Chains A and B, each alone.
Chain A
Amino acid sequence: NAGVTQTPKFQVLKTGQSMTLQCAQDMNHNSMYWYRQDPGMGLRLIYYSASEGTTDKGEVPNGYNVSRLNKREFSLRLESAAPSQTSVYFCASSEADGLDSGELFFGEGSRLTVL
């Protein structure tokens, strides 16, 4: 059972470089989310997608862009990486359809370091 799969698991970037984090889920979920987790800050929502073709900003969207490519895939792009974006990034998905959340499932995380 794959669940939520994130790639890459580890990445080191230099300031100003760009990269895309990929996320795919095989549970036919409507909603997908990108979070970042930093020590002392907890989990913070970057962007989410309530359904294929829609995306919305979360708490900390600045410096990021997202694409809901299809129902399975939700990617997060850093256009010009900054050291402040050093973090662990988690993708998650749920059946949420506006009336019910369903159960939220997480990927294993992508550890990004920006030098």
Chain B
Amino acid sequence: KQEVTQIPAALSVPEGENLVLNCSFTDSAIYNLQWFRQDPGKGLTSLLLIQSSQREQTSGRLNASLDKSSGRSTLYIAASQPGDSATYLCAVWRYNFNKFYFGSGTKLNVKP
């Protein structure tokens, strides 16, 4: 069974700091990896999708990288803002199972 781990479970940083969120997975035979953001009481919003042939994706202040050989992905947030406070989840997809496997998330708090 695919295991997806996100460490740390919670993170608190001052505004303006650059930060890295980690996602690790046990089976390197994944196809795609996607990062999501979830605000309290809300659904999940897609941030970045890294497809099989890609190693990273960027959107604004966000950059996500994928290293299948080591079973790791990182989400880099530059110049963090209080509005970035949310829970960030990663999910991996294996084509032969047609399912997404989710990590339990990192709850980020950016202090003004």
Interface size, A (range): 20 to 34
A31 to B98, CA, bound (A): 9
Q: Is A74 an interface residue (CB 8 A)?
A: no
Complex Cα–Cα for A103 and B33 (A): 9
Identify which of B43, B95, B103 contacts A108 (C-beta below 8 A): B43
* CB-based contact A90/B44 at 8 Å: yes
Q: Could you tell me if B46 and A104 are in contact, using CB atoms closer than 8 angstroms?
A: yes
Check: A1 CB closer than 8 A to any chain B CB.
no
Instruction: Give the contacting residue for A96; candidates B43, B46, B98; CB below 8 A.
Output: B98
Asked if B61 is at the interface of the complex by the 8 Å CB criterion, the answer is no
Expressed in whole angstroms, the minimum distance between the Cβ of B24 and any Cβ of chain A is: 15
The one of B42, B49, B89, B95 that contacts A103, using a Cβ cutoff of 8 Å = B49
A-contacting residues, B15-35, CB 8 Å: 31-32, 34
The docked-state distance in angstroms from the alpha carbon of A52 to that of B96 is 18
Contact A104/B91 with A42-B105, A58-B99 known, Cβ cut-off 8 Å: yes
Q: How far is the CB of A104 from chain B (nearest CB, A)?
A: 6
- Docked-complex contact B102 and A43, CB < 8 angstroms: yes
Cβ B104 vs Cβ A42 within 8 A: yes
Within 8 A of B (CB), among A29-84: 31, 33, 42-43, 45, 48, 50, 58
Q: Please, what's the 1-or-0 string for A74-115, where 1 marks a CB less than 8 Å from any CB in chain B?
A: 000000000000000010101010111101111111000000
Smallest CB separation, A113 vs chain B (Å): 14
Given contacts A100-B32, A101-B34, 4 further A-B contacts (CB under 8 A): A43-B102, A100-B51, A101-B95, A104-B91
